[in-house]
Structure 1
Amino acid sequence: MELTYLQTFLEVVRSGSFTQAGERLGYAQSSITTQIQKLEESYGAVLFERFGRKMKLTSAGETLLQYARDIVRLHAESKEAVSRQNKGSLSIGTVETLAAFFLPPYLQTYKQDYPEMNVLIQPANEPAIIDAVKAGALDMGFILDPPFADPELFSATIREETMVIVARPDHRFGRWNGVTATDLNDESLILTEDGCTYRAMLLHALKEAGVRCNFSYEFGSLEAIKQCVIYGLGIALLPQAVVAEEVRKGQMIAVPFVHPSCRFYTQVIYSRKKWISKPFRHFLELVAGPSIKINEV
């Protein structure tokens, strides 16, 4: 038995006529008649009897009426619930930089739009995020990397991030417009943790230029790095967005790092096998813009 037959049954009850029901539903009267006959065959009972020009329910029809209303209502509710998909969880892997200085305003807006969605943020480095997204352990990942491509993953560039050398306000770089790898000779460097893509780029650039530096400290915490820079313990390479507040307060200076390989972008990645639910699509469009080309399974 098709749901359509029950919907037709309810329309005949409302209009009291096969003809009017057909007009409202866009069916020929013969189609209405056929649907009601099939419904009667399914239940093994006569559902309507004619009184003049009107169709009246039989006792069997009266019994079916409430069930039909409930079935059609529940079907409509289920379609709405499934299509909205406003409950569930969204797991996101992200590097610390983006977790602290990029995602928060989007997470706030998303929480307002989907208050019943549980968003799980998992900080990690790029290799771990990529592996987890491939394995399906994470729904999506946010990385800070040169343009990324992988046959198993869909990636979209959100914005380019300017990389800067940060130092105390009285450092000689404060009068410069840009810093190259050779300018870092004999400087004390404070490094981000191993696995950080811009750390790897910096070390490669220094080795390529034959520059010797003193690697003073290494931290997995951006806040720790910034505090060490403020206290004059060394200089560091960081995304400009990370130090904007400290620069505004005059606690440190930020000078662009100039190198051909220093092109980093905030990117979102997810599996090409991923089913795109409405909450998932909404978050993608929120962070990347409505024009993002979303890869559908």
Structure 2
Amino acid sequence: MIDKSDQSTGLQHPKLTLRQLSIFVAMVRTGTTHAAAAQISRSQSAASAALAELEEALGASLFDRVGRRLVLNANGRALLAPAQAMLEQAGDIQSLFKSERGAHIRVAASFTIGEYLLPPRIAAWSQAWPKSLIQMRVGNTKEVIESVAELGVDLGFVEGPQTHAEVVIHPWLEDELVIVAAPGHPLTERVVARRQLDEAHWVLREADSGTRKVADEWLLNNLRQVNVAMELGSTEAIKRVVACGDGIAFLSGHAAEQSLKDGRLAIVRTDLPKARRRLGVVVHRRKQQGQAVLDFIRHCGAQIAG
């Protein structure tokens, strides 16, 4: 139907299409028309034409042109979340008519979660939905939250208390942090006094780690001094260093579990308060999640609103 305001010209307003939105999202991810066209198997001229049609339909430019690169502007940032949500919803509609879900889910996880908690859950998901593709990147809590906020991934899993104006963090699992040392270390032989922990050599995660933030809070609240001997960016590196040295570490119970069972590490027992934290699922505040993402979140044992 032609709007009355256009009857004199017989022209219709340009309309949005999924093809335009998919090219727009690809351009955001790649930064150039050429790379975006290659990602979605279109010619560069077709991709440029689709972007021009989209900007005409919206009556606004979506990128600033800086040399050969496309830099997302305020209009583009406002469009990105609803565009991704619409493309995911279109994928959900297609999946209704397939015998197996062929979803592509992009996940970011902080180190402890990405290395110890998510792999078995992803493996179980892939067995149930063999055509599904899960892509996971691992980083510290700050990096995970920024990835979700910038729509670089569909969801994140974090262990730290950080937040961001563009995301919502939903509660997931509980994790207790434990103090560990090498088997045979003097501090593993009996319940240790606070003074002994004051004098110990601590091996801790880096400053932006969620585990480190919880560890710092507990250490400052319970010890008179903390002798930090090493800061390492990997839980596995910490476990190996502690297992063959005289340092002690503050680790996620989930991360330490197998090493404690194998006898490569031992618990340092104290009469001080336990250190517990709630792990969380991070989603973008303004993006409506597709059904596949919601199903994956439920598969991992969490619940969020759609």
Report the equivalent of 1:114: 129
What is the identity, as a one-letter code, of the residue corresponding to 2:179?
I
Change in Cα spacing, 1:79 to 1:284, as seen in structure 2 (3 Å) is closer
Gap runs ≥5 in structure 1: 1-77
**TM (normalized to structure 2)?**
0.61
In the alignment, structure 1 residue 285 sits paired with structure 2 residue 298: yes
Can you give the 5+ residue segments of structure 2 that lack an aligned partner in the other structure?
1-90
Which structure would you say has the larger Rg?
1
Change over 3 Å in CA distance of 1:179–1:160 after alignment to 2: farther
Q: TM-score, normalised by structure 1?
A: 0.63
SS of residue paired to 2:159: strand
Q: 1:128 corresponds to which letter in structure 2?
A: E
**Cα distance change of structure 1 residues 183 and 198 upon mapping to structure 2, 3 Å threshold:** farther
- Cα deviation, 1:240-293, whole Å, max 9, x if unaligned, reads 12122221122221246776693312211111322322211210110125xx2x
**C-alpha contact 1:114 1:279 (8 A) present in aligned 2:** no
Q: Paired residue for 2:119?
A: 104
Q: 1:82 to 1:241 in 2, by over 3 A?
A: closer
Give the Cα separation in 2 of the matches to 1:216 and 1:112: 43
Question: One-letter code of the match for 1:288?
Answer: G
> Residues 177 and 250 of structure 2 are in contact (CA less than 8 Å); yes or no, is this contact kept in structure 1?
yes
Match for 2:305: what amino acid?
A: N
Residue in 1 that maps onto 2:305: 295
**AA of the residue aligned to 2:130:** P
Equivalent position SS for 1:116 = coil
Structure 2 vs 1, CA of residues 103 and 188 (structure 1 numbering), >3 Å: closer, same or farther? same
Q: 1:91 aligns with which of 95, 100, 106?
A: 106
Match of 1:145 among 152, 155, 160: 160
Post-superposition offset of 1:179 = 7.3
Map of 2:18 onto structure 1: none
Taking the aligned partners of 1:258 and 1:131, their CA distance within structure 2 comes to 38
Gap change, CA 1:263 and 1:283, over 3 Å in 2: same
Q: What is the aligned residue count? A: 214
Equivalence map 1:70-219=2 (5 Å): 81-83=94-96, 86-146=101-161, 152-176=166-190, 183-208=196-221, 211-219=224-232
User: 1:172, CA displacement in angstroms?
Assistant: 3.5
Q: Secondary structure at the match of 1:103?
A: helix
Partners of 1:192 and 1:79 lie apart in 2 by: 40
Backbone CA RMSD of aligned residues: 2.9
- The answer to whether residue 285 in structure 2 is matched with residue 272 in structure 1 is yes
Secondary structure, in 3 states, of the residue corresponding to 2:107? Answer: strand
Rounded Cα–Cα distance in structure 1 between residues aligned with 2:193 and 2:177? 11
Whether 1:228 aligns to 2:209 is no
Counterpart CA distance in 1 for 2:274 and 2:261 is: 27
Task: Letter of the 1:166 partner, please give it.
Answer: V
* Structure 2 CA distance for partners of 1:202 and 1:109, relative to 1, 3 Å: closer
Percent identity over the alignment is 23
Q: Tell me if the contact between 1:93 and 1:121 (Cα under 8 Å) persists in the aligned partners.
A: yes
